[in-house]
Amino acid sequence: MALSMCTRVVVRTALSRSLHTSCALKKDYTLNDPFEHATGREKLILQAEREGNPDPFNTKPIKRGKGTKDEPTKVPSFLEKRIVGCVCDDESMHVNWMWLEKGHDRRCACGYWFQLTDAKPLPDCAEFKAIPIGGDHHHH
């Protein structure tokens, strides 16, 4: 009986843990280009990246320029105003947030000046024209 039980455990383990492969059945599958499946903003971002603009919505941090009143750090935007965060000191754990408006340069509390400028245009495609940038924030 012990031998029968041991045989059953070995057979059950072998069946449940076996791995079968066959090169004859292997097929070469490739995934389609993500651009072909993308729609909306995702497609817009992929198109912009193809055209050499890795940050079409300007969401990545930018390095401050001189930051003087005569040469403020330029911040791109599609809109007339944008909220901007300044890390005043390299060692700082705090971000000083402020509104920046086109035509009105702004000085941070740390003394650096910022200026809102026109952002690099997005890819010109009819599919993208229906996507509001800055958008309508009314929900129905």
Q: Is residue 22 in a domain?
A: no
pLDDT band at 125 (very low <50, low <70, confident <90, very high): low
For residue 96, give its domain range: 62-121
Same domain, 80 and 99: yes
How many CA atoms, within 13 angstroms, populate the side-chain half-sphere of residue 104?
8
Closest CA to 62 of 50, 72, 49: 72
Under 8 Å between Cβ of 83 and 100:
yes
Q: What is the reported pLDDT for 139? A: 47
Same domain, 107 and 66: yes
Domain count, the chain: 2
Q: What is the reported pLDDT for 135? A: 53
pLDDT band at 102 (very low <50, low <70, confident <90, very high): very high
Tell me: is residue 88 an annotated ligand-binding position.
yes
Instruction: Average the pLDDT over 69-94 and give the result.
Output: 92
Quick: pLDDT tens for 8-58.
655 565 555 555 566 556 667 777 888 888 888 888 888 888 888 888 888
Same domain, 77 and 52: no
Q: Is residue 140 in a domain?
A: no
Tell me: is residue 110 an annotated ligand-binding position.
yes
Q: Is residue 8 in a domain?
A: no
Same domain, 50 and 67: no
Q: What is the reported pLDDT for 2? A: 57
Same domain, 66 and 115: yes
High-pLDDT (> 70) share of the chain, %: 68
